[in-house]
Structure 1
Amino acid sequence: MTGTTLHTPLFCDTALAARIERAEVDLISAVSRASVARSGVAGFVTPLARGAASFAGTDSPYTKVVGLGFGGVPTSAELAAVEEAYAAHGAPTSVELAHLGDPDLAALLSDRGYRLEGFENVLGLDLTVPDEPVAPAGIEVRRSGDDEFEAWLPVVVEASTHPDTQGVPWHDDFSAEAIETAQRDSAAAGLTRYAAFRDGVLAGGAEFRTVDGVAQLAGAGTAPAHRRHGIQSALLAARLTDARAAGCDVAVIVTQPGSRSHQNAQRRGFDLLYTRATLVKHP
């Protein structure tokens, strides 16, 4: 846990938001390309105004447009081409738009018939501030290798299909099959996995990736039978330790507004940096 030092909130200007969004573009693009290589799905990653439009399958959480608003506003022709590419697969065009991005973009998307369908929060932790995260007693966390993947996977899938109900519901509701496919794609993209054990039982898992000094904390989940025992705190502590060792200056986690994950992250010292709105245009 954090010490008694007075906490100074991490301020997020447009430069930091742009760096985090670039990291998100890099992550989504890497996993989408890995999906194409692993499964042969007819996917794509299309650059768009320094962001990217990704298609990794109709039911994939990596099928979306990310990173817009920090490299100019795309033209109507560029947006039309992306919308047609998604429509060719029978998929809507879903744009995750940071509220610190160019405000003209929201107006443009609204004019093109996009509808607001959800929000998610981006929280960050200043890793330049000294800290010694401590895992709860009785919980063991370690990196999880390929030999453990088939045991790790069902735990994370079960956690994802039985989310905590606190807070605003997720905009997307993915099936167990879609989540399993997405986890295989992220593994193929090289994300680092962590496994948490409670009394010797594999009880939770999480993922980790770094790019441009940003530590991306993703994919965390605890099996329902093991919740409220500190699994998430232990997974977070392990990844923050590794993020500092990797030379990162900021750690980022994405949560639903008002959720238990949001609450736990703020208790751990994360600050709300900005919100992403999900804007969707159906074919």
Structure 2
Amino acid sequence: MQHTPSLAADAASPSPAGGRSPLFCDGPLAERIERAEAQLMAEACAAARRRRADTAGFVMKVAGGVASYAEPESPFNKVAGLGFGGVPSAGDLDEVERAFAAHGSPVQVELPHLVDAEIGAVLTERGYRLVSFENVLGRPLGDERVRDLPEGVEIRTSGPDELDDWLDVVADGILEPDTQGLPSHEEFPRDVAIGAMHDLTAATGMVRYSALRGGVLAGGASHRITGGLLQLGGAATAPAHRRRGIHTALVAARLAAAAAAGCDLAVVTTQPASRSQQNVQRSGFELLYTRAILVKELT
């Protein structure tokens, strides 16, 4: 019998504040989210090749997900969406590991906790090491309305003439993160971070937003819509403009736009216990599942 992704718990279950039943994530819903993430990685790698005007990098299908490599130190160098096509074979993993090794790169696997636990055992036996976690949160969409903005703050879509300034301010925010919660296991050089954000903006369906405070560009964010699913891209606020409600305003604007476009679900990835997670939970997001980050270093 085929299952459809579940967006809510049984109607008889207790409702949280606001009268909405808790969001329930089963395997099919997690698979929907992970397939969208894998597709985004593939599109970002293709955009990186276009930016560099070369054929370097790769995207390989593996066990329902993709193994992707864009360029040295890129955040797109990973295995995403793994496990919803079954346990990867030794031959599949050999091929993936050879491809990364040919580029002098370790292999990073983002493994959702809702897949077969045997995958974790297989990876561990091959020398993969648990290095971190990240949380995937979701929120059903209905009749969303943009909240009143904080005084002096404006949120608008960002045009191509503003791209360089947008990249600069988002890079400033990303490269000086808040210290709340578990730190990320990854750090990227500024030029790599800017290149990666440029590539993400070129992905199918990606829309950029700018936040202005007092007329000054103070932050930015992006989103992508695919198959009724809103993927919230990284939002960042320049350090001088933090604690002014900008992050929350950027979330609200994107939720309203996605609801107007007919999306039924919004998802976002955060570091555990981070301020970003705290902000999106205040906006109605709930924890759906956690990804374990496993890395096999070059030998």
TM-score category by the smaller chain? over 0.9
Count matched residues. Answer: 280
Which residues in structure 2 correspond to 1:1-283 (within 5 Å)?
Answer: 5-39=18-52, 40=54, 42-128=56-142, 130-137=143-150, 138-190=152-204, 191-283=206-298
TM-score (norm 2): 0.91
Judge conservation of contact 1:255–1:261 (CA < 8 Å) in 2.
yes
Q: Secondary structure at the match of 1:47?
A: strand
Query: Against the structure 1 CA distance between its residues 118 and 70, is the aligned structure 2 distance closer, same or farther, given a 3 Å change threshold?
Result: same
Judge conservation of contact 1:68–1:97 (CA < 8 Å) in 2.
yes
2:184 maps to amino acid: W
Separation in 1 of the partners of 2:229 and 2:110? Answer: 19
* Post-superposition offset of 1:151: 1.2
Q: CA RMSD in A?
A: 1.4
Moved over 3 A (4+): none
The aligned residue for residue 10 of structure 2 is: none
* Post-superposition offset of 1:71: 1.1
* Post-superposition offset of 1:189: 2.3
Tell me: higher relative CO, structure 1 or 2? Use CA pairs within 8 A at least 6 residues apart. Answer: 1
Q: Secondary structure at the match of 1:102?
A: coil
- Segments of 5+ residues of structure 2 without an aligned counterpart are 1-15
* Post-superposition offset of 1:74: 1.3
* Post-superposition offset of 1:124: 0.3
* Post-superposition offset of 1:224: 0.2
1:263 maps to amino acid: Q
Separation in 1 of the partners of 2:194 and 2:49? Answer: 15
Structure 1 residues 21-73: Cα deviation after superposition (integer angstroms, max 9, x where no partner): 01101111100111112112610001111200000012100110000111111
Structure 1 residues 112-143: Cα deviation after superposition (integer angstroms, max 9, x where no partner): 11000000000000114x44340423311111
1:258 maps to amino acid: A
* Post-superposition offset of 1:153: 1.0
TM-score (norm 1): 0.96
Query: Which has the larger displacement, 3-12 or 62-71?
Result: 3-12
Query: Against the structure 1 CA distance between its residues 58 and 64, is the aligned structure 2 distance closer, same or farther, given a 3 Å change threshold?
Result: same
Judge conservation of contact 1:41–1:56 (CA < 8 Å) in 2.
no
Structure 1 residues 151-182: Cα deviation after superposition (integer angstroms, max 9, x where no partner): 11110000010000000000111121110110
